[in-house]
Structure formats: C-alpha cells, structure tokens
Amino acid sequence: MSQKTLFTKSALAVAVALISTQAWSAGFQLNEFSSSGLGRAYSGEGAIADDAGNVSRNPALITMFDRPTFSAGAVYIDPDVNISGTSPSGRSLKADNIAPTAWVPNMHFVAPINDQFGWGASITSNYGLATEFNDTYAGGSVGVQLTLKP
C-alpha cells in the first residue's frame, strides 16, 4: 500500500469517526433504558452488574450475574420545549410545547448458565423522539412534524 493511499484511508477513517461522534452528541437518542440506571444518571453502566437492564448496554455483564434476574420499568418523559425567534421575513417563530409527553417502557432478563456463560433478552427503545408545530407556525413550509425512528 502506498504512502498516499494509507494517508487517504486514514484521513477518511478519522473524518467518519468525528462525524459520527457529532451525530450522537446531537442527542438524537433516548437514553431511558433502565429505571435504576436513570437513578444514577447512567454512570458506570458498562461495568455495574446490579440490574439486568445494564446488559442492554454491555452484554459481557451477563457473566457477572449468579442467578436469574428480571428488571422492568417505564420512564415518563415530559419535555417543556419552547422556541422563539424571527424569520428572515420578520414573522415570529415563537412556538410553545412542541414536544409531546411519552412513556418509554423497558424490560430485561438475564439467566446464567454457568460461571462463564449466560443468556439474556431486553426490550427497550433508543428512538422515539418527536416534535410537532401548530399549523400556523411560520416555519411550516420547512416542516411541521418531525419523528425520529430507527
């Protein structure tokens, strides 16, 4: 492989990695996958094996459980999203309560087979964000409703 090809591939790999980091940091993902995790702000989710819900983030934790474990819960999201501003034509862009409330359910099960193997299953959601503006919103020609789905 030539030096130029190696540099080009390396630069492309770095660019893709940086772009994907920015996409995730924009917040287009729900993090409410476990009620106990929410209680500690999801810190240590990759290493703490106190709840079956953590296995949905790090499947290697299955080996840390010594008995079957079940976890279920629901997180209620009640956003208060209000925006304001002025369009280039001078119209008001004020809109209140554009994000609806939602329940995000989760259910997880882990069962060890022996000290080195186990199995588990999770039902949860990473996506489901939505916003909806009223019909008279000045930005309506751009978009009135937005829903993110996997």
Walk along the chain (150 residues) in steps of 10 and give the mean pLDDT of each run: 82 73 53 70 71 84 91 85 79 78 88 91 77 67 58
The number of distinct structural domains making up the chain is 2
Tell me how far apart the alpha carbons of residues 148 and 150 are, in angstroms, rounded to a whole number: 7
Same domain, 12 and 1: yes
Query: Measuring CA to CA, how many Å separate 56 from each of 1, 29, 75?
Result: 40, 15, 16
User: Same domain, yes or no, for 39 and 77?
Assistant: yes
One-letter amino acid for residue 48 of the chain:
I
Cα–chain-centroid distance for residue 127?
6
pTM: predicted TM-score of the whole model, two decimal places: 0.60
CB atoms within 10 A of CB 41: 9
Between CA 91 and CA 135 the distance in angstroms is 14
Containing structural domain, residue 15? 1-28
What is the model's pLDDT at position 26?
47
